Amino acid sequence: MHDKTLPEVLLLEDDAATISILGIWLKGICNITAVTDGDSTLKVINENYNNNSFFTLMLFDINIPFPWNGLTLMEEIRKRFEPYRKIPFVAETAYAMPHDRERLLAAGFSDYLAKPLDRELLIQTVQRFIARG
């Protein structure tokens, strides 16, 4: 069910189980629109943009199907859609390397979450960013 009083979050995640879990964890905190690849992400953002509707937060898996990855997709979105230059993007990845956090933050992500995701940390992170919107 879509609650129009809640902030809108775009979840880019190619794993159906993770989409389902995050939907349960974030229920009542935000509305989630889930997409599984870069082209679908651009399509949804464009449709919303054309209706003057924007997501409050972008929650992006970094490792998504070729030809995109979360970083190149974030860069493309910010290039094409000016409002998304100010909207926070949170990176999530299962392949966490020691310098990934610093690299992704330096590239423009607002925050970084390593998988497996910690429920409380995810909720705190989402609430922190949607409170700013």
Q: Would you state the pLDDT for residue 70?
A: 93
Predicted TM-score (pTM) of the model is 0.94
Domains and CATH numbers, the chain: 8-118 (3.40.50.2300)
Please, which residues have CB within 8 angstroms of residue 56's CB and are 6 or more apart in sequence?
7, 8, 9, 30, 87, 129, 130, 133
| Tens-binned pLDDT, residue by residue, of the chain (133 aa) | 678 899 999 999 999 999 999 999 999 999 999 999 999 999 999 999 999 999 999 999 999 989 999 999 999 999 999 999 999 999 998 866 778 888 899 999 999 999 899 999 999 999 999 987 6
pLDDT for the residue 93 = 86
Asked if 90 and 121 touch (Cβ cutoff 8 Å), the reply is no
72 burial (CB, 10 Å; 0-12 / 13-18 / 19+) is middle
Residue-level pLDDT at 71: 94
**Residue owning tokens 């009083």:** 5
Residue pair 74/89 in contact by the 8 Å Cβ criterion? yes
DSSP at 84: G
Phi/psi at 19 (nearest 5 deg)?
-60, -45
**Where on the phi/psi map is residue 52: left (φ > 0), alpha (ψ -120 to 50), or beta?**
left
Please report the pLDDT score of residue 14 as a whole number: 93
Cα angle 99-102-108, degrees, rounded to a multiple of 5: 135
**H-run or E-run covering 61:** strand 57-61
